[in-house]
């Protein structure tokens, strides 16, 4: 426990806001040092678009299991002065501790001494993995299973489903005119956008768990001019690929309502869903491991937020997410980790790794735990 807490403290006390390339590089140095000390292997440093990612290959044999995490956080430089690392009353606090630096430290502790594991810690997940997406997907294709060290869901639940994400920008073009003298000569982009907002909002399907939400809007230039152009953003969350495709087709089929107006749709699917089928066998295995170790049986949760687990599931590799710290307050002022849960959580991860590495691949395929 003391060693694990020391590692978490080192990671938390090196601030790593995603948008600051220098800060992410400094964080990578610290993460590399902690990981090398625990696992006895120096990482490969992979710099893509100026962002530093770290990869450890453990053992001499082929890699079978991918442990996945990230070391970038959402907190700006200077947050540590206001919210320093602290452990009081069994609660650990500090920027990024829950999402997901404690999980990174747990991965190092659990993987030490194993053969056939790859540990990948990226530096841009909080931005949507713009540079590391291909790296994550390529590593997932090489693996039989992916274990994601993102923080747990409420009560320590494992994340067996994550919604897929699509992001769009709907743009309307009209024609400007003086709003007082001759508004009838214009084509009002704001009115066109109002029609489109209502059409887009109707695409959601609560019964399928699909949300389609118009968000930030922009239109016009001055208060006395018929707007000649404008746009609004759309956030889409889906549980299945089929729903993601349905919404995409509908958005691309949007047509203008006002004579003379034009409508264009930009963007598309950003991350595929992590569907329950991708995690079912691994979750069952985690429950069996917990029972063998005398740990409480983990529960399952479906969440709306996305992670790199969406990407690994999207390329067809069985993926189990939320194996990191138990606590709460991700991206919030009350971010925290429950210290008492760390030993059992790390033991569960280690046991799951040992089980996956010990079982013959053919048996895993037959059980549905991995793909052929």
pLDDT of 151-186, one tens digit each? 999 999 999 999 999 999 999 999 999 999 999 999
Tokens at 59, concatenated: 């053992």
Q: Range(s) for CATH 3.30.70.360 in the chain? A: 165-271
The 3-state secondary structure of 211-271, one letter per residue: EEEEEEEEECCCCCECCCEEEEEEEEEECCHHHHHHHHHHHHCCCCCCCCCEEEEEEEEEE
Q: Range(s) for CATH 3.40.630.10 in the chain? A: 2-163+273-367
Give residue-wise pLDDT tens across range 251-276: 999 999 999 999 999 999 999 999 99
Verify whether residue 125 is a known catalytic residue.
yes
What pLDDT sits at residue 363? 61
pTM recorded for the entire structure: 0.89
Grade residue 366 by pLDDT with cuts at 50, 70 and 90: low
Spatial distance between the Cα atoms of 172 and 126, rounded to a whole number of angstroms: 30
Grade residue 370 by pLDDT with cuts at 50, 70 and 90: low
Task: Return the higher-pLDDT residue of 343 and 366.
Answer: 343
* Annotated catalytic residue, options 7, 15, 72, 308: 72
Spatial distance between the Cα atoms of 37 and 44, rounded to a whole number of angstroms: 15
Average pLDDT over residues 31-50: 97
Report the CATH architecture of 165-271.
2-Layer Sandwich (3.30)
- Give the residues across from 230 on adjacent strands: 172, 219
Say if residue 372's pLDDT is above 50. Answer: no
* Annotated catalytic residue, options 7, 124, 125, 243: 125
Instruction: Report the chain's mean pLDDT, rounded to a whole number.
Output: 95
What pLDDT sits at residue 61? 81
What pLDDT sits at residue 96? 97
What pLDDT sits at residue 183? 97
Verify whether residue 81 is a known catalytic residue.
no
Give residue-wise pLDDT tens across range 194-246: 999 999 999 999 999 999 999 999 999 999 999 999 999 999 999 999 999 99
- Please tell me the CATH code under which domain 2-163+273-367 is placed: 3.40.630.10
């Amino acid at each position: 426990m003391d060693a694990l807490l020391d590692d978490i403290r080192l990671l938390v006390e090196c601030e790593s806001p995603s948008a600051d390339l220098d800060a992410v590089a400094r964080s990578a140095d610290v993460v590399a040092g902690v990981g090398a000390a625990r696992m006895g292997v120096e990482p490969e440093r992979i710099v893509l678009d100026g962002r530093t990612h770290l990869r450890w290959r453990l053992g001499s044999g082929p890699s079978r299991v991918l442990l996945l995490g990230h070391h970038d956080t959402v907190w700006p430089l200077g947050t540590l002065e206001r919210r320093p690392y602290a452990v009081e009353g069994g609660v650990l606090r500090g920027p990024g501790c829950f999402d997901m630096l404690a999980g990174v430290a747990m991965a190092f502790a659990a993987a030490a001494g194993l053969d056939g594991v790859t540990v990948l810690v990226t530096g841009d997940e909080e931005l949507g993995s713009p540079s590391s997406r291909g790296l994550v997907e390529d590593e997932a294709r090489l693996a039989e299973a992916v274990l994601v060290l993102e923080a747990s869901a409420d009560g320590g639940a494992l994340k067996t489903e994550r919604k897929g994400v699509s992001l769009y920008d709907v743009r309307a073009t009209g024609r400007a005119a003086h709003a007082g003298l001759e508004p009838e000569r214009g084509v009002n982009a704001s009115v066109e956008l109002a029609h489109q907002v209502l059409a887009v909002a109707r695409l959601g399907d609560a019964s399928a768990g699909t949300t389609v939400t118009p968000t930030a809007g922009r239109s016009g230039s001055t208060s006395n001019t018929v707007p000649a152009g404008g746009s609004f953003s759309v956030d889409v969350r889906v549980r299945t690929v089929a729903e993601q495709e349905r919404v995409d087709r509908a958005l691309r089929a949007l047509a203008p309502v006002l004579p003379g107006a034009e409508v264009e749709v930009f963007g598309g699917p950003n991350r595929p869903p992590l569907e329950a089928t991708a995690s079912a066998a691994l979750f069952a295995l985690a429950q069996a491991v917990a029972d063998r170790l005398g740990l409480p049986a983990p529960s399952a949760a479906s969440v709306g937020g996305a992670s790199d687990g969406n990407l690994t599931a999207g390329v067809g590799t069985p993926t189990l997410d939320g194996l990191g710290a138990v606590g709460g307050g991700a991206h919030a002022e009350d971010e925290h980790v429950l210290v008492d849960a760390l030993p059992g959580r790390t033991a569960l991860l280690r046991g799951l790794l040992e089980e996956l590495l010990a079982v013959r691949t053919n048996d895993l395929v037959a059980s549905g735990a991995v793909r052929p």
